[in-house]
Chain A
């Protein structure tokens, strides 16, 4: 049950989950076509979407597909005729749609999808891992991670705005940690439609719209004479997305009065010696630990990566060299990768190769399968990182935290 308290003419405060927040965003953004298919934990959003439709609060074509593959294919084609679309999935469901996920980028079709992050089968598991969403990191998806239910609704508006910008025209996935965001309710400021309209222009497919008035052919078969040029075009769109994100964030802050920096959320980093970096809801225990350690005089801080694609390389490169050591927390794994680290760890290390000074970088694999990243475990990560800072390096660059030995 939702408790509503009107705090101003242009927004209401409501107690809703991250999933419900995104469902509300669908209504406020006047989404045209939504497709659903059940899989935990993302499907909570579709339970709210269907209720909104049933109650007349959201008007759209709502199709319960027969598989995730169809779910994503249906909205892909709806986007091609100019419809604003929303869909989503989790874990192996997202993988079932993988073909559709790949082709949407080449087609340059904007689509907003919610990924309720979930571990991949086998064994079946409902808990949170980031490997599902991260699997598309090379394909042209815009990827971001929300930390709070407020983030969910805000990021959804940003997602349509950036994805549908003609300079970009790429799909965007909003990652929400399973259970922590999808199933827990927080106080969220839900904006009035007028504010959303101000921020989010209608989707205009323009000269790419598939319609009898615009008889184009889309996606004919290519050979080696063409594909490199096409990939280069998509690459250019992803590069342009950086500027579009910065521009959209600024406007978001101006209109809604919240939002912070586009790519990174920094917490007590100004005078920090060591920082931990991570994505999603682990920000919560991290912030608490930072405060507690600061109380004891430790100069620690936390950086939350908000957008993973495009990757905030320039921002991290500017920010990280001033610390004495950096720890990167992955709620994912990349088996057999350099140092057997997680995905974010390897990406951070990669960008830091360009830094003038080498800062020790430690990787932490933690919180897999929905296991909690606890305050003691985050303190442990800070301690390991602090030790590397003190010693100017370490022999062990990768740690699994919270695994039973």
Chain B
């Protein structure tokens, strides 16, 4: 069986590979954190990688015909197809290599999807891919919390109450999105015993994110990553604060950084410190920076805070595993 590339962990920012494999030619928004995720993802993975991109911002804005930012081979796949694209590419390579129709070497296969493609439409294909432990592949869900490409419509991964073109606050209904954000990585971790590695990340913590990509690719097997990407377009803030908002999402405890390696769950980085009792920043610090929450009343902020508090105080593992039966 084809082995994987051995990508050693980067010890600090100074060890970040200089090589850029995602350069210019993309037409994403100013301050696009998802573009940064792409850059870091491929910087971590290196040149012997095939990237499959499902429909979304990182397709439409990144690769507009005749220009591409990709140095590595890249191919579009359909909105719900990140799982199938990863599976098909990995299976094709494996078949050709084992039949000696292609040089046998470890080639990284990464398929990415947005929250619409991953947490909504493509969930079943991702789930299927994560049951195939005979293939080495990584599926990366870049989550900017809306269908930002198509004009910012609410997705199953949008936060409660957020303004979007499908959930605009109005005179009768202030809160149009009454759904709480899906726990996508946690759900996939719980449901796929053969997934070798599942992690969350955030480009604001670049080395951590790159190391998670490297660990996933080194471990091989079906792996999954979910990043939270501040989106100046859909979240409505000055683009220069993309990095800060990523940090705030983690430090308020709204976004939890963790990895699940062969079933073992570890909170890491600032999330680990929060779990040990460090005081979380109030969610208001994060919410009030974004136009998508500008219609929130103090009660809305308090509700949001209470849900985050419950996640940290009552869940078995904050952000990953919900509460179990109460102790007798």
Contact = CB atoms under 8 A, between A and B. Distances in A.
**Complex contact flag A–B (Cβ < 8 Å):** yes
Interface of A: 30, 32-33, 35, 59-61, 63, 65-67, 69-70, 73-83, 85, 99-100, 103, 202, 210-212, 214-223, 225-226
Contacts of A70: 81, 83-84, 87, 124-125, 128
B95 A66 contact: no
A59 B94 CA distance: 12
Contacts of B49: 212
A218 B75 CA distance: 5
B50 A211 contact: yes
Interface of B: 47-50, 52, 59-60, 63-68, 70-78, 80-81, 83-85, 87-89, 91-96, 98-99, 101-102, 107, 124-125, 127-128, 132
A211 B51 CA distance: 10
Contact of A226 (B59, B66, B93): B66
Contacts of B74: 216-218
Contacts of A60: 95
B63 A63 contact: no
A100 B64 contact: no
B191 to A, nearest CB: 13
A67 B102 CA distance: 29
Contacts of B87: 63, 70, 74, 77
B124 to A, nearest CB: 5
A355 to B, nearest CB: 42
A32 B89 contact: no
B41 to A, nearest CB: 16
B96 A32 contact: yes
Contacts of B124: 66-67, 70
A59 B99 contact: yes
B132 A77 contact: no
A172 B87 CA distance: 22
A35 B128 CA distance: 13
A303 to B, nearest CB: 39
B50 A63 contact: no
- Most chain A Cβ neighbours within 10 Å, of B52, B68, B92: B92
Nearest to B132: A63
Given A59-B99, A61-B95, A220-B66, A69 B81 contact: yes
A103 B11 CA distance: 43
Given A70-B81, A73-B81, A73-B125, A33 B88 contact: yes
A75 B91 CA distance: 9
Contacts of B91: 33, 61, 63, 74, 78, 83
A230 to B, nearest CB: 8
Nearest to A32: B95
Interface residue SS majority, chain A: mixed
Nearest to B64: A221
Contacts of A212: 47-50, 72-73, 107
Given A77-B89, A79-B92, A221 B59 contact: yes
Contact of B73 (A35, A76, A210): A210
A2 B42 CA distance: 52
Q: Which of A33, A221, A222 has the most CB of B within 10 A?
A: A221
A33 B73 contact: no
A81 B128 contact: no
A85 to B, nearest CB: 8
A83 B96 contact: yes
Nearest to B67: A220
Contacts of A210: 50, 73, 75, 89
Contacts of A82: 92, 96, 101-102
B96 A215 contact: no
B101 A73 contact: no
A215 B75 contact: no
Given A33-B88, A221-B63, A215 B125 contact: no
A45 B107 CA distance: 32
A276 B73 CA distance: 51
Contacts of B64: 220-223
Contacts of A225: 65
A388 to B, nearest CB: 47
A202 B128 CA distance: 30
Given A210-B50, A212-B72, A218-B75, A74 B84 contact: yes
A30 B85 contact: no
Contacts of A63: 87, 91, 132
Contacts of A99: 78
Contact of B78 (A35, A65, A73, A81): A73
A77 B77 contact: yes
Contacts of B132: 63
Residue of B48, B88, B95, B128 with most partner-chain A CB within 10 A: B88
A330 B302 CA distance: 66
Contacts of A226: 65-66
Contacts of A223: 64-65
A202 B81 contact: no
A92 B71 CA distance: 40
A82 B75 CA distance: 14
The 10 closest A-B pairs by CB, nearest first: A77-B88, A78-B92, A220-B63, A73-B84, A83-B92, A74-B88, A32-B95, A217-B68, A219-B76, A66-B128
